[in-house]
Chain A
Amino acid sequence: MPPDVDSPACPITARETTKRMSAAQTSIPEDVAKSASEAKDRLNEHTLKIVHWHFSEETGSPFWLEKKAELGFDPLTDIKSFDDLKKFPHFEDEWLRGGPIQRWIPKGHAGKPVYVFETGGTTGVPKSRMVIEDHWKDYELFSETLPDEHFPQGSNWLMLGPSGPRRLRLAVEHLAQHRGGICFCIDLDPRWVVKLIKKGWMEHLEEYKKHCIDQAVTVLTAGHDVKCMFATPKLLESLGEALEDRGTSLQEVGIKGIFSGGTEFTPQWTRFCVEELLGGPVEEGGVYMTPTYGNTLMGLACSKPISAADGYKISYYAPQPRAVTEVVSFDDYNQVVGFGETGRVKLYTLTDEFFVPGFMERDEGEREAPFDMYPWDGVSGVRPFHELASATTVGVY
């Protein structure tokens, strides 16, 4: 039996009252500290199960069973807690380039239908990740964090973002279905978008964006009763603008809730959306929007609720224990920085389908303290890692 099926990613849902703490606080309230301790216990227990699954001859993947010989320690006996994962070398995403993709499939899942999701690939060989049901589970857990008031059960959805080999389309569609709705999808190829930018074909880029936005407007104005949507920040911005050009708005076409992600997300952009695109703060009748942070490796990190009072600060919390984010020192990637301090984002994926014992993300940010809704570490102010920033194309779609 896969070990993590029942693991609660978000033990307390958005529907419950939250007691939020300031990110700048370094002392954690007693009740949160207790929850955090319990969460850490669950994480340790989960880690042991996952390591056992991936490194057992009966259930592990060819990749990790082969890697085991190079490690210099025995994961089955030497990994006793989450912190022990630091014994592993950092996961290199280059390992994901090229095949055979089958080497990543855990033997314990042999024979099951497998998806492959890719990232990168504008030129050269993309990074590929095999998935069986992780994308469904991630989004089902994410679903628990969406307030029904703004994401009504049974509503139809619009997915306006990268499709093709990305997992987003299938994941958002599953989210819609899981919540009793049907998902309308717009096809967008981010690899072509990156090529257009690199070629300097900005007019083509504008036309392609318009092509996608026109389809989205058509769906939203065709009587399908779409109330919820996913969009990348740039496309959401363009959609809002296009609707306005037609004399309407996201609110007027019936959108109640939006989750957005896929590219860099800043407080200023969030404020712009709230003040000028979404009809004002949600308490005053504006459209609800929540940022997300994620990728093919990790899944989906949820955001602490955002507000003007909090300076539109965006703090992400990974769906622990299935995934964990740490903010680590730029000088020592095994050293977590203090609360409020800046470091590089380090990612762990701990599912029965995929094992990532510490991957250095291309992002940096500030470490956020646990709070009652997510009693574990978060990360805020996520932005491209400063040493790689100049070489990174961000926010292109």
Chain B
Amino acid sequence: MITLQPLRWGKPYESMEIKDVVHFDTGEPIAKFGSVGGGIVARDMKQAHKARAALLKHSTADLIAMSKKAADLFENAELPVGDSMQSVDQFVHQQSASTGLPEHMCRSNLKKNSFVLSHIDEILDCLTRGLDLDILSRGYGEEGRGVIVSYQAQTPVLGAILPNNSPGVHTLWLPAIPLQIGLALKPGSQEPWTPYRMVSAFIAAGVPAEAFGLYPGGHDAGGAIMTKTPRSMIFGSAETVAQHAGNPRVQAHGPGWSKILIGDDVVDDWELYLDVMVESVLSNSGRSCINCSGIWASRHTREIAQAIAERIGPVDVLPPTDDNAQLAAFTVPAMATGTYAMVQQDLAESGVTDMTADYGDKLIEREHCAYLRPMVVHADSPDRGVAMKEYMFPFVSVVECPQAEMLRRIGPTLVGTVLTRDPELVAAAGACVEIDRVNFGPIPTNRLNWLQPHEGNIIDFLFRSRAYQVADLPVAATA
């Protein structure tokens, strides 16, 4: 059985606290996972400057080349992971077994992470608006207009408290390495696979091992990463995000409440957009913050909800190895039962209708896991509580709301797909600060263009633009 041990700036640490990673359906151990406490993390963070120093020995161009090689290795090669060699198929199988995601979704996330890394030069070019990356290395430089620009690294390493259940989010920390910023990662207890394999791929591609810290552990390990690294990202609940709001040291990622807004000018043709809506709700088993949790329109909302329900309502549990499996398991059954109880409360409100009621039981309980089958809910007004809900399974509220009120009522929206030709609505949606990523036209909310920033630009997070003035020193008069 594979054993994953913490990595302390490239050196494996033999933890005495070993936990089993278990198969979500059978409960059988599939891996062993060593952990560390906050003390070790805090101690290592004192050496974080060495991680950046090791990366600064390589040019950004070299690191980009290594990243592209790492992308290929990550996606295709057998790599040393923990105390074993891991093939791609083993990776997919292990990730599916511990997270409950169907294997084809694990492969899809694998390719997504690899894609981002293999296009990292283009992504950095876009995120820096074409800046010469040597300026980030050196801290200053001349951009070509006769003016010195300076971008000062705010941290030697990027800390990240990674989630248990979303292998797709790892794209967010990948740019750190070519930016010559080390990584201190706390892998999720059920999804250690991507960070371990990715770090292995980076090292195999020539990136210095001392740039990487992998610190599996409990809350105190995560807390130490966050308090000891000047810049960190965390993935969690709405409460987690609220807790870190306004903290420039922390980029908090939580629920997305992503939405599709349909303008009055096209809503009568809503059937043209049905595929976009279904994909936005159902992809990746509805687990992502970029999955659509709300579809807002001023009319036809019942028909829209009914049509989506007819498409996703029949989706049932299939084995994780089945290429047609659309549903991921809740590896902690109580999360499914708790979620379902919350949905029941939502449905109890007047004006809320379960449009998938005819498609059988929603809560499927197994011995070691549980599933929630897709649900489509109609809300006759944005006043209904369900209009602002997001759950970790394919769940969408179709909300009836006058167009004039829509942007004022939608609340935080990570991805907003706006379907309209109405220039006034386009302008208003473009200006709406509730929407982070905005799509105009039939773009499913889950399809991200990685050349665009996501929840803030990581360049702005890791580097600070500042003044940098230089004048020649006067030459002392010689005797």
Contact = CB atoms under 8 A, between A and B. Distances in A.
A269 to B, nearest CB: 6
B354 to A, nearest CB: 31
Given A266-B17, A267-B16, A311-B16, A272 B223 contact: no
Nearest to B242: A200
B16 A237 contact: no
B37 A202 contact: no
A285 B223 CA distance: 32
Nearest to B43: A276
Nearest to B220: A395
Interface residues of B, number: 18
B367 interface: no
Given A206-B227, A312-B16, A272 B42 contact: no
Interface string B172-195: 000000000000000000000000
Interface in A262-277: 266-269, 271-273, 276-277
A104 B52 CA distance: 62
A118 interface: no
A214 interface: no
Interface in B14-56: 15-17, 35-40, 42-43, 46
Residue with the greatest number of chain B CB neighbours at <10 A, chosen from A244, A268, A271: A268
Contacts of B227: 202, 206
B377 to A, nearest CB: 30
From B15, B16, B42, B43, residue with most partner A Cβ within 10 Å: B16
A237 B15 contact: no
B42 A241 contact: yes
Nearest to A245: B46
A272 B243 CA distance: 30
A237 B239 CA distance: 29
A200 B36 CA distance: 22
A271 B34 CA distance: 14
Contact of B36 (A241, A268, A273): A268
Interface string B236-247: 000100010000
Given A200-B239, A206-B227, A395-B220, A272 B39 contact: yes
B42 A200 contact: no
B42 A271 contact: no
Contacts of A311: 16
Interface string A307-336: 000011000000000000000000000000
Interface in A233-288: 234, 237, 241, 244, 266-269, 271-273, 276-277
A231 to B, nearest CB: 13
Contacts of A234: 38, 220
Contacts of A312: 16
B40 A276 contact: yes
A78 B335 CA distance: 50
B39 A269 contact: yes
A241 B35 CA distance: 20
A136 B36 CA distance: 36
B42 A268 contact: no
B38 to A, nearest CB: 7
Interface in B246-294: none
For A200, A271, A272, which residue has the most chain B Cβ atoms within 10 angstroms? A272
Contacts of B239: 200
Contacts of B38: 234, 237
Secondary structure call for the A interface: helix
Contacts of B40: 272, 276
A272 B215 CA distance: 14
A268 B15 contact: yes
Interface in B189-247: 220, 223, 226-227, 239, 243
B188 to A, nearest CB: 17
B243 A241 contact: no
Contacts of B223: 202
Contacts of A277: 39
Interface in B144-158: none
Nearest to B226: A202
A142 to B, nearest CB: 25
A276 B40 CA distance: 8
A284 to B, nearest CB: 19
Interface string A367-396: 000000000000000000000000000010
B39 A200 contact: no
B37 A269 contact: yes
Contacts of A271: 16
Nearest to A276: B43
Contacts of A273: 39
B349 to A, nearest CB: 29
A260 B412 CA distance: 47
Contacts of B46: 244
A276 B38 CA distance: 13
A125 B229 CA distance: 39
A22 to B, nearest CB: 17
Contacts of A395: 220
Nearest to A267: B16
Interface string A134-160: 000000000000000000000000000
Contact of B37 (A206, A241, A244, A268): A268
Nearest to B39: A237
A237 B36 contact: no
A85 B71 CA distance: 66
B454 to A, nearest CB: 25
B41 to A, nearest CB: 10
Contacts of A237: 38-39, 42
Which of A244, A312, A395 has the most chain B CB atoms inside 10 A of its CB? Answer: A395
Contacts of B42: 237, 241
A206 B17 CA distance: 26
A241 B43 CA distance: 7
Contacts of B36: 268, 272
Task: List the 8 closest pairs (A to B, CB-CB), nearest first.
Answer: A268-B16, A237-B39, A200-B243, A268-B17, A267-B16, A272-B39, A269-B37, A272-B40
28 contacts: A200-B239, A202-B223, A202-B243, A234-B38, A234-B220, A237-B39, A237-B42, A241-B39, A241-B42, A244-B46, A266-B17, A266-B37, A267-B16, A268-B15, A268-B16, A268-B17, A268-B35, A268-B36, A269-B37, A272-B36, A272-B37, A272-B40, A273-B39, A276-B40, A276-B43, A311-B16, A312-B16, A395-B220
Interface of B: 15-17, 35-40, 42-43, 46, 220, 223, 226-227, 239, 243
Given A268-B35, A272-B39, 15 more contacts: A206-B227, A234-B220, A237-B38, A237-B42, A266-B16, A266-B17, A267-B17, A268-B15, A268-B37, A272-B36, A272-B40, A276-B40, A277-B39, A311-B16, A312-B16
